[in-house]
Amino acid sequence: MLSSLSPQVQQRIAVVVPVIALALSLFVVYPGWNRWRELVAEADQKRVRLANLRGTPIPLAATQQPAAEDTPAEPPKFLADIQTIAADSGCAVVGFDLTLPPAPVSGEEEMAQGGNKKPDEPKAPELVKPVRAKIEVEADYPHIRQFVHQIIAAPRLYAIASLEVKDANRRIPELLAATVEIERYVLNPDAPPPAPGP
Amino acid sequence: MSPDTRGASLGLYLCPDVLIAVFARGGRGAPQIAAVGTTPTPKGSMDGSSVRDPARVGQALKTLLKSMRSRATSASVCLPPTSTGMRAFRMPDAPERERRPLVRGELETSGALPLGGGAFGHLWVKAPSEEEREESDVFAFYSDDAGVDAVREALRVANLKLDSIEPYSIAAIRAFMLSRETPEPVALLCPSDSHTDLCIHDGRQVRYLRRIAGGWEEMRYASRQQAFTSDEAAPVAAQPLGVDDALDEAAAAQAGVLGGIHDDHDSSNRAFLTAEVARSFAFYSREYKDADVPRSLVVLSPAQYAEDIARTIEPAMPIPVVCGDTAAKLELPEPTGGELGQLGFLAAAGAALGDVGSLLPRVDASRQEAAALSRRHAPDVLLFGMAGSSVWMIASVVAAVALSLLQSSAEVSNNLLKRDIEVEWARRAGPLRNEEVFNAARGAQTKVATAAPAVLAAVAQAHDGALAISSVKVDPGSKVAIEGTAVTPESMQAFAASLSQTHAVNNPSFDMMHQDNGGLYSFRIVGTCGHLTPEGALREGGG
């Protein structure tokens, strides 16, 4: 068939066809092949990731609220909760102080350093911020015990940082005064956001 | 209504003035002209008798044939008379298969054709011989490769295959012979601008053919000379182009027919043509003694020249001289399109009728040798390369399409997987974040929380009423301090022992012990509760 073409057409075909074939191979087929292999590898990775994800059990919900949102309404709500606990325990809240200075750096490492702050190091912000409050209640010893116990068993996570129980210096012999320093936790707005999805 | 060209052969006449297409049918009776068409030749696309721009000529032919609703796939071509040269020679008779090489050898020897190149066709006519060996007259028409290739390319552009390129005189003579109702011996004169072909046909086949140098251009020159000498006496008689009077006289005297011409010697050019025709007749009479004498001499030429030529040579001819009326018999239109174009209808019709009858077989002046044909084609390596490149290109296109489909499929699969992962991740993101927050808060709680409830419980459990507890203090760092008063040392000892047994206060020890004036003991017991969790359980590792 080719031999029946005119010499001019043959010359054009002899030049144009290989050039087109080469251009197609270099600029279409080869990049297309690479792209296809990348897509196949990407699909394989995603399949593995999906299988791992499906194999990972969904964490159970905690029985206690670990931290509350750091909003202006949080301290009054905390005080209301404590008052409720105290009332349930038969204690009378006689004083509270929510304006304590920020809680000292907690932890054994800091204790070992004798309270000296470690030189600043770039550290990712914690997910939660500790906030302390000092509560003063009056009651007899069993009710103070119940109050302390109910703080630990409360729906929200609290830590009793310190406790002092002493005579209330009243004329009622059984009446005791307890000063409880409670640490609660709020979400740190500076904390990194949740890990992005895959 | 367009003419019906089915079953008709196509003959083309190509000249710088006009392109002519004639569809003709041969049959039992006279040939029929089915259709005739003309179109002006694109300016500059033909140079004299050769095609200079095949593409434009081919396109013009394509348009012409399209307007004629042609279905032809091949055509025979006739070019202006000067496109082909002619040689006549006598050779020993030879078998059919040996004739063409012999003719080529003669043409190459005479310099008409280059070695191995050029194209030619020939008529092989048995010559009368009185001796035992048989001889043949060969009338060969030749042309160059470039001209043939250009015509072939022009026809290819017009979607036509080249059947043959016929010499003008052969085509015209065939058209004349086929137009006659009863074939009879006749001599035919085909003048052109530069030469004149003379053919003697015995009614069955060509017997004699020769080319005479001199055509109507020289007639025209002679006429101008005659006009000049009639006005004022010419100092010197006009000389023929390439011929002198002595030669004319000798030739005419040899032929024995020169008397009239010599007496009326107003133009040596006319005399030369007349003498050459007469000499040819004399030669024919001498050589072909048994052949029939031509009944007439027919001048096949445009009317404007034919009558002049006939009038010129008639006095010297022993047979009637007539002008051919072939065009009228074949119902061809009046010639148009310039000097060369006027020859066209007859020539195109003759070319189209090349395969009709045996009065004048086709003479294909486009036949090339195998070497020339192979030169025209690309080398096999190049063809294989082109075929390979074409396959490569097609494979590349197929691969590109296939890869596009595969990419599309892979992208769809990736998108589905991505959506599934996002769904799964969305189901887990909230609980995972809550767990993360709980762990962070629990870690912070574990670091600072004291086991205060456990300490209070231990104090309550150890207290037996023999002493009074005034203060219980649990400091940050889980240091426990218990202060109180006792009446006896034994009660203090019992309290400390009981406290130790509760395991809530680790390593209880008396930090202070004091007896006042009343004999009452004050004491302070210190210990730690750091080995307990905030809920009072033992820490892992024993605290």
SS (H, E, C) B277-300: HHHHHHHHHHHCCCCCCCCCEEEC
Q: CA B207 to CA A22: how far, in whole Å?
A: 63
pLDDT band of B229, cuts 50, 70, 90: low
What residues in A contact B400, CB-CB < 8 Å? 24, 28-29, 32
Confidence of residue B242 (pLDDT cuts 50, 70, 90): very low
Per residue, what are the HEC states of B215-237?
A: CHHHHHHHHHHHHHHHHCCCCCC
**CB-CB contact of B106 with B138 (8 Å):** yes
Contacts of A180 in chain B (CB under 8 A): 452
What φ, ψ does residue A142 adopt, rounded to 5°?
A: -60, -40
Q: How many other CB atoms are there within 10 angstroms of residue B194's CB atom?
A: 15
What's the Cα-to-Cα distance from B529 to each of A59, A115, A164, B456, rounded to whole Å? 32, 21, 14, 11
Are A127 and B455 within 8 A, CB to CB? Answer: no
**Model pLDDT, residue B253:** 41
Model pTM score:
0.52
Residue B245 has pLDDT above 70, yes or no: no
Write out chain A residues lying below 8 Å of B392, CB-based: 17-18, 21, 25
**Distance of alpha carbon A158 from alpha carbon A180, whole angstroms:** 11
Number of A/B CB contacts below 8 angstroms equals 216
B87: enclosing H helix or E strand: strand B85-92
Residue A174 dihedral angles phi and psi, to the nearest 5°:
-80, -10
> B403 and A29: CB-CB below 8 Å?
yes
Q: Which helix (H) or strand (E) holds A79?
A: helix A74-89
pLDDT range class, residue B254, cuts 50, 70, 90: very low
* Burial class of A185 by CB neighbour count within 10 A (0 to 12, 13 to 18, 19+): buried
Check pLDDT > 80 for residue B107.
yes
Amino acid at B72: A
Express each pLDDT in A104-114 by its tens digit: 555 555 555 55
Å from B297 to nearest chain A CA?
A: 45
Mean pLDDT of B191-212: 88
* Residues on chain A touching B410 (C-beta within 8 angstroms): 36, 39-40, 42-43
CA distance B34 to B352: 11
Q: Is the pLDDT of residue B237 over 50?
A: no
User: In A, which residues are within 8 Å of B481 by CB distance?
Assistant: none
Q: Find the CB nearest A67 among B426, B441, B452.
A: B441
pLDDT at B309: 81
For residue A33, how far is the Cα from the chain centroid? 43
Instruction: Provide the percentage of residues in chain A whose pLDDT is more than 90.
Output: 47
Q: How far is CA B252 from CA A135, B308, B321, B413, in A?
A: 157, 20, 18, 102
Q: Taking 80 as the threshold, does the pLDDT of residue B427 lie above it?
A: yes
Closest residue in A to B474 (Cα) is A163
3-state helix, strand, coil in chain B (%, to 5): 45, 25, 30
Residue B10 one-letter amino acid? L
Terminal CA-CA length for chain A: 57
The answer for residues whose C-beta is within 8 angstroms of residue B132's C-beta and 6 or more apart is none
Cβ partners under 8 Å of residue B529, min gap 6: B450, B451, B452, B454, B455, B474, B478, B480, B504, B505, B506
Q: What percent of chain B has pLDDT over 90?
A: 26
Residue B328: exposure state from Cβ atoms within 10 A (0-12, 13-18, ≥19): exposed
Higher pLDDT: B372 or B418? It is: B418
* Closest-approach residue (CA) in chain B for A6: B153
Contact yes or no for B427 and A58 at CB 8 A: yes
- Residue B268: the pLDDT is 64
Question: What does the pLDDT read at residue B228?
Answer: 61
Report how far apart, in Å, the C-alpha atoms of B203 and of each of B20, B88, B183, B191, B252 are: 29, 21, 5, 21, 27
* Confidence band for B233, pLDDT divided at 50, 70 and 90: very low
**Chain B residue at shortest CA distance from A105:** B448
Task: Confirm or reject contact between B109 and chain A (CB < 8 A).
Answer: no
The per-residue pLDDT for B415 is: 94
- Residue B332 tokens read as 């061809």
pLDDT band per the 50, 70, 90 thresholds, residue B236: very low
Mean pLDDT of chain B: 82
Show residues of chain B in contact with A64, CB under 8 Å.
438
SS3 A1: coil
- Encoding tokens for residue B536? 């009072």
**Residue B222 predicted with pLDDT over 70:** no
Q: Can you tell me whether residue A45 is helix, strand or coil? A: helix
The reported pLDDT for the residue numbered B252 is 43
The span from the CA of A111 to the CA of B476, in Å, is 10
DSSP, res A28: I
pLDDT tens readout for residues B299-313: 887 777 778 788 888
For residue B209, give Cα distances in angstroms to A13, A82, B140, B284, B360: 47, 138, 10, 10, 12
pLDDT in tens, A34-82: 999 999 999 999 999 999 988 888 888 778 888 998 888 998 999 999 9
Predicted pLDDT of residue A165 = 93
A-chain residues within 8 Å CB-CB of B440?
66-67, 126-128
Is pLDDT at B486 greater than 50 in this prediction?
A: yes
With vertex at residue B99, the alpha carbon angle to CA B94 and CA B207, rounded to the nearest 5 degrees, is 80
| Chosen from B153, B413, B419, B474 to mutate, greatest number of chain A CBs within 10 A | B474
Query: Residue B134's pLDDT is what?
Result: 85
A181 contacts in B (CB within 8 Å)? 476
pLDDT at res. B260? 37
Pick the CATH number of B9-377 from 3.30.420.380, 3.40.50.2020, 1.20.1530.20, 3.40.1710.10: 3.30.420.380
Distance from CA of A160 to the nearest CA of B (A): 5
Residue of A nearest to B484 (CA): A166
Q: Report residue A137's pLDDT band, with 50, 70 and 90 as the boundaries.
A: very high
Query: Do residue A17 and residue B422 have CB atoms under 8 angstroms apart?
Result: no
- Sort out which chain B residues have CB atoms less than 8 A from A144's CB and list them: 456
Identity of the residue numbered B162: L
Interface mutation target, options B377, B401, B439, B445, chain A, most CBs of A under 10 Å = B445
What's B452-542's CATH class? Answer: alpha beta
* pLDDT (0 to 100) of residue B264: 43
User: Are B425 and A197 a contacting pair at CB < 8 A?
Assistant: yes
Query: In chain B, positions 453-482, which contact chain A (CB-CB < 8 Å)?
Result: 453, 455-457, 460, 470-477
Average pLDDT for chain A: 84
A42 and B455 in contact by Cβ < 8 A? no
pLDDT over 80 at B173, yes or no: yes
pLDDT in tens, A150-194: 999 999 999 999 999 988 776 777 889 999 999 999 998 888 777
pLDDT, one tens digit per residue, over B394-424 is 999 999 999 999 999 999 999 999 999 999 8
Amino acid at B263: D
Residue B448 to residue A20, Cβ atoms within 8 A: no
Q: Which of A74-88, B54-68, B229-243, B528-542 has the lowest average pLDDT? A: B229-243
B268 vs B156, more confident: B156
Residue A195 has pLDDT above 80, yes or no: no
Higher pLDDT, B436 or B267: B436
For the ranges B14-28, B92-106, B124-138, B248-262, the maximum mean pLDDT occurs at: B92-106
Q: Give the model's pLDDT for residue B246.
A: 39
**Residues A43, A49, A54, A56, Cα dihedral to 10°:** 180
β B297-299/B186-191 pair status: parallel
HSE-up (13 A, CA, CB side) for residue B537: 6
Is residue A182 within 8 A of residue A82, CB to CB? The reply is yes
Flag if A39 and B437 touch (Cβ within 8 Å): no
Is the pLDDT at B77 greater than 90? The verdict is yes
* Residue of chain B minimizing CA distance to A144: B456
Confidence label for B30 from pLDDT (cuts 50, 70 and 90): confident
Residue A134 pLDDT level (bands cut at 50, 70, 90): very high
Write the residue in A14, A67, A149 that is nearest to B385 by C-beta. A14
According to the model, what pLDDT value does residue B329 have? 66
Distance from CA of A104 to the nearest CA of B (A): 10
pLDDT value for A44: 95
